[in-house]
Amino acid sequence: MKNQSTKTIQKHEATDLPSALIDIPQLINGKKPAVFLDYDGCLSPIVKDPDKAVMTQEMRDTLQRLASVCSVAVVSGRDRANVEKLVQLDNLYYAGSHGFDISGPNNMHTEPGGASEAVPALDKAQKTLDERLKDVEGVLVERKRYAIAVHYRNVPDDQVSKVLQVTEGVIAEHPELKKGPGKKIMELKPNLDWHKGKAVRWLMNELDLNKPDIVPLYIGDDITDEDAFAELQGEGIGIMVGEHDDKTAAEYRLEDVTDVLAFLEALTQTIKSQQDV
């Protein structure tokens, strides 16, 4: 694992980044990509109800074709079983709960981050959040295997500050947990040195992808994806979908899920063309 403190991470305004669609052959420069990507906001649009974030069959078919020519992993804050059920492809790797729970072909299943230590604290925090936020309209306290997501996208503006204050208060009561920001979400995560970037690195090592002829490529839309962008900066390709409330360590961007689909289709064709040479 590379020590992030020894390298300077370059941050950019997402709107200043060049499109990843401009010249894909030049982007991967003759190398074979290993593709890592988030689910919500990348494979499916962001929706008010997380259970309705459904991927299109066209996107599923494209992912399947891409996975037939290179390694593909979905790295999500969702539970691993949940994102696996949404994608419905058995030739992909799945890193759920921000990489604490990983599965893949050939019966791969591991939990490399040590998150099980935080389960009792998560159980207690969930009960407290349910009680303290029960009267807030539109709030959703979503329990995951190794996290709790407090969604406030549907909360009235004058109640958002209460949701954030209550959630931060509960986090403060449990030193085993830490805050994880997102788009209209505040997460309670295990207070461990593990994140999407480390999960990507773990997969690269496990799948023997640290080779000169392979380029890792990460597509994400959220603040939680910044750890992966930073991890790969200087050796891989970070692609930001849309924008969030901060600068990004990605070097390229795509506008939306439609752009992601076009990019994955073109990337698949580029890889096939390289193989035919």
**Which residue, among 114, 129, 76, has the nearest Cα to 190 in the 3D structure?**
114
Q: Determine the 3-state secondary structure of 238 from DSSP.
A: strand
* Tokens 């992030």, residue located: 4
Same domain as 224, residue 256: yes
The answer to whether position 161 is within a domain reads yes
187-201 residue pLDDT tens: 999 999 899 999 999
The separation between the first and the last C-alpha atoms of the chain, rounded to the nearest angstrom, is: 34
Mean pLDDT of 264-277: 91
Would you state the pLDDT for residue 47?
Answer: 86
CA distance readout (Å), 150 to 67, 153, 179: 33, 9, 11
- Residue 85 has a pLDDT of 95
What's the pLDDT at 253? 97
Query: How do residues 50-69 score in pLDDT, each as one tens digit?
Result: 888 999 999 999 999 999 99
Predicted TM-score (pTM) of the model is 0.87
Give the chain's mean pLDDT. 93
pLDDT score for 2 = 45
Give the pLDDT confidence score for residue 183 in this predicted structure. 83
Does the pLDDT of residue 3 top 80, yes or no? no
Residue at which a domain ends, from 136, 158, 190: 190
146-193: pLDDT as tens digits? 999 999 999 999 999 999 999 999 999 999 999 988 889 999 999 998
- Distance between CA 76 and CA 230 in Å, rounded? 16
Residues 37 and 155 in one domain: no
| pLDDT the model gives residue 115 | 86
* Nearest alpha-carbon partner for 95 in 81, 75, 110: 75
The verdict on residue 4 lying in a domain is no
> Given this model, what pLDDT does residue 208 score?
96
Where does a domain end: 190, 211, 230? Answer: 190
Report the distance separating Cα 262 and Cα 258, nearest Å: 6
38 given a catalytic annotation: yes
Domain tally, the chain = 2
Written as one string, the DSSP assignment of 124-190 is HHHHHHHHHTTTSTT-EEEE-SS-EEEE-TTS-HHHHHHHHHHHHHHHHT-TTEEEEEETTEEEEEE
Residue 167 sits in which domain range?
A: 116-190
Sign of CA dihedral 256, 258, 261, 262: negative
Q: pLDDT tens across 29-43, in order?
A: 999 999 999 999 999
CATH number for the domain that contains residue 134: 3.30.70.1020
Shared domain for 124 and 208, answered yes or no, is no
Q: For 218, what's the count of Cα atoms within 13 Å in the CB-facing half-sphere?
A: 32
pLDDT digits 0-9 by tens, 117-151: 899 999 999 999 999 999 999 999 999 889 999 99
Q: Pick the catalytic residue: 16, 23, 38, 101? A: 38
DSSP 247-269: -BS-SEEE-SHHHHHHHHHHHHH
Same domain, 186 and 199: no
Does residue 174 sit in the same domain as residue 203?
no
**How sure is the predictor about 1, in pLDDT bands with cuts at 50, 70 and 90?**
very low
CB–CB of 73/203 below 8 Å? yes
Exposed/middle/buried for 99, CB within 10 Å: 0-12, 13-18, 19+?
Answer: buried
